[in-house]
């Protein structure tokens, strides 16, 4: 899907998670009348281990800090596993104008009520209904899930939509 650019400001930031898996929650307020939503939320994984997810999160965090002209540590890995320090720096970027690059995303989720309880199935690619069962194929490539119809009391599918932050830039100065 194509990405889109919007003028925005960071409106809130907060630290979450246990010490072994900390993360920052960022909320950006989109500016202008053409924005599809009022806010875009981003989650930055700051776990102590350098993983693909934490490296991607660290790149977005560093870009935000640089755009906001907030000092970054010499070694960016110093912020991994240090959500308090990352949050302290990030809060200095609140209210700074920026250009946010976002990509629309969506996923399908299936909820099934049975006599035993409620089952939530994420990352659904397709649900095939037959006379005797629901067969659920998932985007993750896992084996299909077969749920006998006699177990199902009720079912509901819903599409969740959000915007993924793919880039953060400094906006062009006004008047140029």
User: Which residues make Cβ contacts (< 8 Å) with residue 41, sequence separation at least 6?
Assistant: 25, 26, 27, 28, 162
The residue-averaged pLDDT of 157-163 equals 91
Between 2.30.30, 2.60.40, 2.40.160, 2.40.50, what CATH number should domain 4-103+163-169 receive? 2.40.50
Locate the DSSP E strands across the chain: 4-16, 23-30, 39-45, 97-114, 117-121, 124-129, 133-138, 145-148, 152-169
Between 1.10.10, 3.50.50, 1.20.120, 2.30.30, what CATH number should domain 106-161 receive? 2.30.30
Phi, psi of 25 (to 5 degrees): -105, 125
Q: What is the pLDDT of residue 92?
A: 96
* Spans of all domains in the chain: 4-103+163-169, 106-161
Residue 167's pLDDT band, with cuts at 50, 70 and 90, is very high
175: pLDDT strictly greater than 70: no
Q: Are the beta carbons of 2 and 103 closer than 8 angstroms?
A: yes
**For 25-74, what is each residue's pLDDT tens digit?**
999 999 988 888 999 999 999 999 889 999 999 999 999 999 999 999 99
**For 78-124, what is each residue's pLDDT tens digit?**
899 999 999 999 999 999 999 999 999 988 999 999 989 999 998 89
174: pLDDT strictly greater than 80: no
């Amino acid at each position: 899907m194509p990405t889109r650019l919007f003028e925005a400001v960071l409106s809130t930031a907060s630290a979450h998670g246990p010490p072994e898996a900390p993360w920052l929650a960022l909320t950006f307020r989109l500016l202008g009348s053409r924005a599809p939503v009022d806010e875009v939320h981003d989650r930055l994984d700051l776990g102590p281990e350098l993983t693909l997810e934490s490296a991607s999160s660290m790149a977005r965090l560093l870009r935000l800090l640089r755009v906001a002209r907030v000092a970054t540590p010499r070694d960016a890995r110093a912020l991994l596993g240090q959500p308090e320090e990352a949050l302290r720096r990030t809060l200095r970027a609140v209210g700074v104008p920026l250009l946010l690059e976002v990509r629309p995303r969506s996923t399908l989720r299936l909820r099934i009520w049975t006599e035993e309880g409620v089952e939530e199935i994420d990352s659904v690619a397709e649900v095939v209904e037959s006379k005797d069962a629901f067969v659920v194929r998932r985007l993750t490539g896992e084996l299909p899930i077969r749920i006998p119809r006699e177990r199902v009391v009720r079912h509901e599918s819903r599409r969740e939509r959000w915007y993924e932050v793919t880039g953060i830039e400094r906006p062009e100065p006004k008047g140029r």
